[in-house]
Amino acid sequence: MNEHLLEVADLKITLPAGGATITPVDGVSLSLGRGEALGIAGESGSGKTLTLKSIIGLLPPGAFVEGDLRFALGDQAPIPYAATDVHGRGISIIFQEPMTALNPTMRVGDLIAEGPRIHEGLGKGAARERAVELMRRVGIPAPERRARMWPHQLSGGLRQRVMIATALSTRPKLLLCDEPTTALDVSIQDQILGLLQEIRTTLGMSIIFVSHDLAVLGELCERLAIMYAGQVVETGPTEAVFSSPNHPYTEALMTSVPSFDATSDKLAGIEGHPPDPRSFPPGCRFAPRCRYAQDDCAEAQFRLVPTSAERSTGCIHTEVFAGRER
């Protein structure tokens, strides 16, 4: 039996941008096992959010998608994404900013109950009961009282719990998390991570967790995909990637320190800026910032190549890492 829940092969997303078109996601390949948590790391603008949005079908108008997305419902092997009805059934997403993602004109309980009402046809009373039960499930104190509140009456941490409850309300097989803790205080961040970890184990969900912060991914994810300039440049088990990165960008990301300004995802410690999708450099896109770059890097055709059964890299000069232990 095929154990994969999701397979993404050579995903390309082209968007209209100021009269021109850009391809900010340009050859992303990912696979996700059932029950697995995959972390996607990369600087701001590398295409993480667009990749998640394509998986849940939330791309902006005018977006053109190429490549192959397959998603498994039930026990069958993954089938082409276009043939599955993922909306409200198999996949949910939580975003970084619960305040902008939660409809401000609906009471918290109604927000959480909306999915079950639409997708399962639950009546008002039963949906309200489900909402309160979910709020209790995600650790919201006094859920009956809070169900009658508006989103702006809750703290950032509680709003993020409401978003998680909303995401869980349709009993997804796959939860997509787009920097869900980035806007929160560190202690609240830890609580939300703990909650996601616990939910994942007890509900047996798969998770794709996007963050620019590798430490956060290390806590939750057993596998990592590192993105740079619209491409996945390295994949592998988290511990292996941490102890011996196979791509210079991964190494740079690991030795850089996330900014103390929690709302920005700028990284201190990597020279230069990630390239703009309007002008990706030829060959290896990281080469202009890479301390190991050689002449042939700018000519190399990008390919993610397996280096072992579980790992792959897009770097053509992995010999620079040979024999090094970190």
Ligand X SMILES: Nc1ncnc2c1ncn2[C@@H]1O[C@H](COP(=O)(O)OP(=O)(O)O)[C@@H](O)[C@H]1O
| List of residues contacting ligand X (CB under 6 A) | 15, 17, 24, 42, 44-50, 60, 277
Beta bridge partners of 236: 224
Which class for 47: exposed (0-12), middle (13-18), buried (19 or more C-beta within 10 A)?
Answer: buried
Which residue of 49, 54, 169, 170 would you call a contact of Mg ion, by CB under 5 A? 49
**3-class secondary-structure state, position 193:** helix
Q: Which partner, ligand X, Mg ion, none, binds residue 45 by CB below 5 to 8 Å per kind?
A: ligand X
60 binds, among Mg ion, ligand X, none (CB under 5 to 8 A by kind): ligand X
Nearer to Mg ion, 47 or 109 (CB): 47
Structural element, H or E, at residue 227: strand 223-228
| Contact range with Mg ion by CB under 5 A, out of 6-14, 41-49, 220-228, 313-321 | 41-49
Shorter beta-carbon distance to ligand X: residue 42 or 115: 42
Name the residue nearer to ligand X (CB basis): 169 or 250. Answer: 250
Q: Between residues 25 and 127, which has the closer beta carbon with respect to Mg ion?
A: 25
Q: For residue 33, give the nearest of 64, 71, 3 by alpha carbon.
A: 3
Closest distance to Mg ion from the beta carbon of 17 (Å): 16
Report CA Rg, the chain.
Answer: 20
Residue of minimal Cβ distance to Mg ion: 49
Question: Residue 28: which of 71, 68, 72, 79 has the closest Cα?
Answer: 68
What backbone phi and psi angles, to 5 degrees, belong to 135? -65, -40
Residue 39 interacting partner from ligand X, Mg ion, none (CB closer than 5 to 8 Å by kind): none
Q: What does the longest C-alpha to C-alpha distance in the chain come to?
A: 67
Closer to Mg ion by CB, 49 or 238: give it: 49
| Least distance to ligand X, CB of residue 97, Å | 13
Q: Which does 188 bind (CB under 5 to 8 A by kind): ligand X, Mg ion, none?
A: none
> Closest approach of Cβ 139 to ligand X, in Å?
27
Give, as one character, the DSSP assignment of residue 307.
Answer: S
Using CA atoms, how far apart are residues 95 and 237, in angstroms rounded to an integer? Answer: 25
Of 12 and 171, which has the nearer Cβ to ligand X? 12
Binding of residue 54 to Mg ion (CB under 5 A): no
CA 98/CA 178 separation, integer angstroms = 11
* Integer Cα distance of 93 and 87 in angstroms: 11
Q: Which residues in this chain contact Mg ion in the complex, by CB under 5 A?
A: 49
